[in-house]
Structures are given as structure tokens and as C-alpha cells.
Amino acid sequence: MKTIVSYPCAKINVGLQVVARRDDGFHELRTVMVPVPGYCDEMYVEFGSGKRSGIELELEGCDFQESVEENLVWRAYDALRVYSPLPVRVRLHKRIPAGAGLGGGSSDAASALRCFSSHCSKDVSRMELERIALNLGSDVPFFMRGEPCFAAGRGERLEPIKLPLRGMYLVLVTPRLHVSTKEAFGWITPMNRHKVLSEVLANAPIETWQADVTNDFLPELVKRYPLVCDIIERFQELGAAFTSLSGSGPSVYGLFKHEIEFPTHTFVDCKVYVGML
């Protein structure tokens, strides 16, 4: 038996523009995604155990709203069946909250794809792996790369980008709110911009981002959930260089140039992560 342990990490979005609605029902996006290497799930993959073929998946760590068969790790294995992957037992311990705009499920899927595809009887080409990743979810191709990227299209057109974030402190707050991604897109009127997000970020210091780097979901989310506005205002009071929404929410983050301390009651009834990028 061979066991592989991986730590699929969360991401944050630095800016998110909904540019147009596509004919295939998806939306054309522009965003920059940044991995958060310290905020991770844990995945234990054991090959050659359990069933003679197929996958056994054990989920733990949070309340799952989906069946095991609907989980993206299971679906990643299913997508590779034509390549005869080895039988496997997986234990997935969730730390990243689901449906929070942090890409936890997509990150799990990317880690699973990398692991399973390297233990198939038939070779899986890079092009096919990228196709499978996109079919699993719009954020999965980004997590296959694992580096800051400017993303366009559904999120599959990726370009590495350098941002002045090394050494920045990140405070990430997830309120106990459920925000349906499908519903959130219904709040947005797509709009093209003259300013390209990647150019704004590449040419401006972080202190100026607040005026020009926007997340289109934020104004609508604030209208419906005042708590989101409260969290952003608290970050600004604490001296954040930049604060925004991740994905379609409800997670909100602040970037700080220095380590900060705040009372434990600052963000009541929220899940809080503090780390360094």
C-alpha cells in the first residue's frame, strides 16, 4: 500500500469583474487568483486498499451538503476511469469552509486529479488533464497551477502574474452566511471595462488598489448582508492596505503590511484565518 498526503489550499480573488454573459450560460470573467498556502484541507490517499477497483471516500471536518458521489474528489476519479486508475481509499478532512468563495472544493479536485492521474495504467496527457479540470469546475485549472494568476474566460485562460504580496499578512473572515453562486450571478449586470485588471495590479502600489480594484459581487452582497460591510469597515479601522470580497462571497479578507492583533470578539460568529502570504 502507498499513502500520499496532500494539503489543498484556499485562494482569494484580488478583483473580480463580470464582463459578459456567454452563449454557453457561463460568464466571462476577469480576476486575479492568489493561493493561500497556509489555509488548507488535508487529503490522505491510499492506493491498493479497499475495493478491488474504484474509490472509497470518507469525508470529515464539516457539514457536507452533498453526497459522497457528488464530491469533486469522487468526480475527479470518475473522470479518469477510462485511464484505469488504481483502486484508492481517500480520507478528506475539510478545514476550508464550503461555499465561501475560497475555492476549497476546486482545490481538493485539483490535488486529487494530480494524484490519481499519476497512478493510472494508461498515460493521461496534459491537454486531457486540463480538459477534465475545467469540466470539474471553473477554478480547478487555477489550482492545478498553484501560483498567482490573472484569469479570464470562465477562469481557464490563465497567465502568471507577479503581485507585491510577499510578506503581507492576511486576515480572512468567513461569516456564517450562505451565498448561492448561481443566485449571486443573477444580481450582476455584466459590464466591460476600459481598464484591464492585470494592468492595474501590475502598475499600481497596493495602497491604491482600493479605488480601482473592485469585486462586482461586493456592492450587491453588502445590500443584502450588512455584516459583510461591517467586516470591511473593521478591516479599514485596523489599517488594512487592501480589503475585499473573495469570489462571490461571503468570505472577506484584509491585507496588512504588519502583523496585527485584535480582540477575539472582533468577528463574532465567523470563521477567522490569520496567516502570511
Which residues are catalytically annotated?
11, 139
**Cell 468567513 appears where?**
174
Q: What angle do CA 99, 14, 140 make, to 5 degrees?
A: 50
Q: Determine the Cα–Cα distance for residues 222 and 21; give it in Å rounded to an integer.
A: 23
Helix (H, G, I), strand (E, B) or coil at 254: strand
CA 20/CA 227 separation, integer angstroms: 29
Please name every residue paired with 139 in a beta bridge, in sequence order, or none if there are none. Answer: none
> Residue 244 is inside which H or E element, if any?
strand 242-245
Rounded distance, CA 94 to CA 92, Å? Answer: 6
What would the grid cell of residue 261 be? Answer: 492583533
Q: Give the neighbor-by-neighbor strand order of the sheet with 242-245.
A: 242-245, 252-256, 169-175, 270-276
